[in-house]
Chains A and B, each alone.
Chain A
Amino acid sequence: MNYIEFLLWVRGPAFQIAIAVFVFGISLRLLEILLLGRSPEYAAPRGSAVRGGFRTLLTRTMSEESIFRRAPLLIIAGYVFHLGLFIVILLLVPHILVFKDLLGFSWSGLPTPIIDAVAVITLLALFILLIYRIKHPVLRFLSTSQDYFAWLITFLPLLTGYMAYHHMINPYPVILGLHILSVEILMVFFPFTKLMHAFTLVMARWYNGANAGHKGVQA
């Protein structure tokens, strides 16, 4: 297999496998969760479930001040890498073209050097979080191999994308192919690891908040 055949493979059959596994996994897990249903609510309502839901959506997205003061770096790096990922994935023109091809609509992107800078910041933030996870005794104790694996498959697409843009491996189709392949690995494992939180966090927060709201708990 020469490098062009490799690139054609990752853009063709490999992408097809990846998207099939991704869509299969997401629909399986979402349906599984939703079909669990909610236990019947016997208590008389003491507050609004809807308001509780919205409030928790917001409060769980913001950081509690006391918690922030205990580990500011962890929280800032966490925000930075999530925002960075959104910018890099959704605002780089070649990425937007993929979404346009798959979804049928598109939006405008940012100049590549800006994305490049954001990618570097995101890589640094992810790196800081890894070091933090390894250095902090409690966090290290709580970490499973899946945590490190999820970190790796998130880190690799960013790293290979950065390397592709800067032509760090020649010929260029090799690193471009590796970048696409790393995203496909991410897609395959996404629904079956904790990365699934991207799809579940809104409803999970809503569920907790609505429960608390119904009971009149100030959560």
Chain B
Amino acid sequence: MSKYPTIGESLRHQGISRRDFLKFCTAVASILALPAAMIPKIAEALESTPRQSAIWLSFQECTGCTESLTRSHAPTLEGLIFDLISLDYHHTLQAAAGTAAESAREAAMQGNKGNYLVIVDGSIPLGNPGYSTIAGISNVDMLKEVVAGAKAVVAVGTCAAYGGIPHAAPNPTGAVSVDSLITDKPIINIPGCPPIPLVIAGVVAHFVTFGQLPNLDSLKRPHSFFGQTIHDRCYRRPFYDKGLFAETFDDEGAKQGWCLYKLGCKGPVTYNACATTKWNDGVSFPIESGHGCLGCSEPNFWDAGGFYKPLSVPINGVIKATTGYALAAGAAVGAASGALNRLKRSQARQNHETVTITDLERNQK
């Protein structure tokens, strides 16, 4: 095997058969909503392209995104992502530590200048650079330095895409998303807490095959995975339409698998592929396990009024107080206005002059 093996070589080295490889290409074409005619093209591109150099930066995160990727059982599609890329730096997964690790990053940046992919998980604190540093370098500095020579940036997970938990009110670290700092490079968001590993694999495969990122929506997410809501593809949708809802997590409705809307499911406003690709090798997804969707692939999902509050319900907890004050203020102004009206009436009564016949006759002349 050469120093920079192609993806095909690397896969064969791992004992992946040609049949499995083509199956993978077919699956990639299908999940990216590409026509079947593209399968040979994908296969050819993956076969002949050297593995894409990638630098993985972890900032304010919980490592859940990495866990989600690495816990997927080989040789699933998700597992193959590591064969598509040459992961030159990932401080959780790499063997090197300290200076050696940082030199690996610098070597990759110089060796593949202008061509490497930057994958980011975690948000970036702007409140104080000391809140999160790696090798003494603040997150914002490292991001800007590494992205400067990158071909594209992939923001993996809700923290990198929108700020996530660190960004939730009151946002003590001043956490921001990747795309609020980087504006001069192509960026793709793959949100989710954690994101679906297959989506990461699909996006990387698309990038390797076509040399560019797939089509994105207004939140910079790939259309092919984030084009429909969880609700659109939910197997419990017929119960929603019939008006059959679980009222609690253990009532008869819940046992019958009825819709979880009343229990706070955010499926109707959440764009993601969970309902179709599912999790854990296609076993299930949260709603199938009996819990409503939290809306983890949408911005600000931590501040959306509570996971167990229905979607239609107002968010604020101080509505009762507001209503009370408004009622009192309205009553006060109403009483003042009523008093004013009474005053006017009594004044009118006082100023009232009796008109006699003689007055009228005088007026006529």
Q: Which residue numbers of A lie inside 8 Å of B, CB to CB?
A: 2-5, 7-8, 11-13, 15-16, 19-32, 34-37, 93-95, 97-98, 101-102, 109-113, 167, 171-173, 176
Residues of B close to A19: CB separation below 8 A = 314, 319, 322-323, 326
Inter-chain contact B337/A24, CB cutoff 8 Å: no
Contacts of B241-261 to chain A: CB distance below 8 A = 241-243, 245, 261
B9 CB to nearest chain A CB (Å): 42
- Tell me if B207 counts as interface (CB < 8 A to partner A): no
Residues of A close to B327: CB separation below 8 A = 23-24, 27
> Which residue of B has the minimal Cβ distance to A184?
B314
CA distance A4 to B191 in the complex (A): 14
CA distance A98 to B314 in the complex (A): 7
Residues of B close to A16: CB separation below 8 A = 314, 316, 318-319, 322
Q: Which listed residue (B300, B310, B330) contacts A94, Cβ 8 A?
A: B310
> Which residue of A has the minimal Cβ distance to B264?
A97
Q: Which listed residue (A15, A31, A35, A95) contacts B319, Cβ 8 A?
A: A15
Residues of B close to A2: CB separation below 8 A = 218-219, 299
Inter-chain contact A35/B245, CB cutoff 8 Å: no
Inter-chain contact A35/B342, CB cutoff 8 Å: yes
A149 CB to nearest chain B CB (Å): 22
CA distance A101 to B217 in the complex (A): 34
Question: Which label, helix, strand, loop or mixed, suits the secondary structure of the A interface?
Answer: helix
- Tell me if B304 counts as interface (CB < 8 A to partner A): yes
Residues of B close to A109: CB separation below 8 A = 243
Inter-chain contact B322/A97, CB cutoff 8 Å: no
Inter-chain contact B299/A112, CB cutoff 8 Å: no
Can you name 23 A-B residue pairings with CB atoms under 8 Å?
A2-B218, A2-B219, A8-B300, A8-B304, A11-B304, A21-B326, A22-B326, A24-B329, A24-B333, A25-B330, A27-B326, A27-B330, A28-B337, A29-B334, A30-B334, A36-B338, A97-B262, A101-B314, A110-B243, A112-B241, A112-B243, A167-B232, A172-B229
A117 CB to nearest chain B CB (Å): 13
Inter-chain contact A35/B240, CB cutoff 8 Å: no
> Which residue of A has the minimal Cβ distance to B245?
A93
CA distance A182 to B322 in the complex (A): 20
- Interface size bracket, B side: 35 or more
Residues of A close to B243: CB separation below 8 A = 93, 109-112
Residues of A close to B268: CB separation below 8 A = 172, 176
A23 CB to nearest chain B CB (Å): 4
Q: Which listed residue (B240, B269, B310, B331) contacts A173, Cβ 8 A?
A: B269
Number of residue pairs spanning A and B whose beta carbons lie under 8 angstroms apart: 134
Residues of B close to A29: CB separation below 8 A = 334
A112 CB to nearest chain B CB (Å): 6
Top 3 A-B residue pairs of the complex, sorted by shortest distance between their CB atoms:
A35-B338, A31-B334, A27-B330
CA distance A72 to B5 in the complex (A): 83
Known: A12-B316, A20-B325. 8 other contacts (CB 8 A): A2-B219, A8-B300, A19-B322, A20-B323, A23-B323, A35-B334, A35-B341, A112-B243
- Tell me if B141 counts as interface (CB < 8 A to partner A): no
CA distance A2 to B341 in the complex (A): 48
CA distance A194 to B245 in the complex (A): 37
Residues of A close to B312: CB separation below 8 A = 94-95, 97-98
CA distance A28 to B337 in the complex (A): 9
Inter-chain contact A31/B313, CB cutoff 8 Å: no
Assuming A32-B337, A111-B241, is B330 touching A7 (CB within 8 A)?
no
Q: Which listed residue (B299, B326, B335) contacts A4, Cβ 8 A?
A: B299
CA distance A5 to B331 in the complex (A): 34
Assuming A19-B323, A27-B331, A94-B310, is B245 touching A36 (CB within 8 A)?
no
- Tell me if B11 counts as interface (CB < 8 A to partner A): no
- Tell me if B121 counts as interface (CB < 8 A to partner A): no
A61 CB to nearest chain B CB (Å): 27
Inter-chain contact B334/A112, CB cutoff 8 Å: no
Residues of B close to A3: CB separation below 8 A = 218
Inter-chain contact B218/A102, CB cutoff 8 Å: no
- Tell me if B303 counts as interface (CB < 8 A to partner A): yes
The winner among B243, B245, B327, B335 for most chain A CB atoms within 10 A is B243
CA distance A16 to B318 in the complex (A): 8
Inter-chain contact B314/A15, CB cutoff 8 Å: yes
A37 CB to nearest chain B CB (Å): 8
B266 CB to nearest chain A CB (Å): 10
- Tell me if B59 counts as interface (CB < 8 A to partner A): no
- Tell me if B181 counts as interface (CB < 8 A to partner A): no
Inter-chain contact A15/B241, CB cutoff 8 Å: no
Residues of B close to A37: CB separation below 8 A = 342
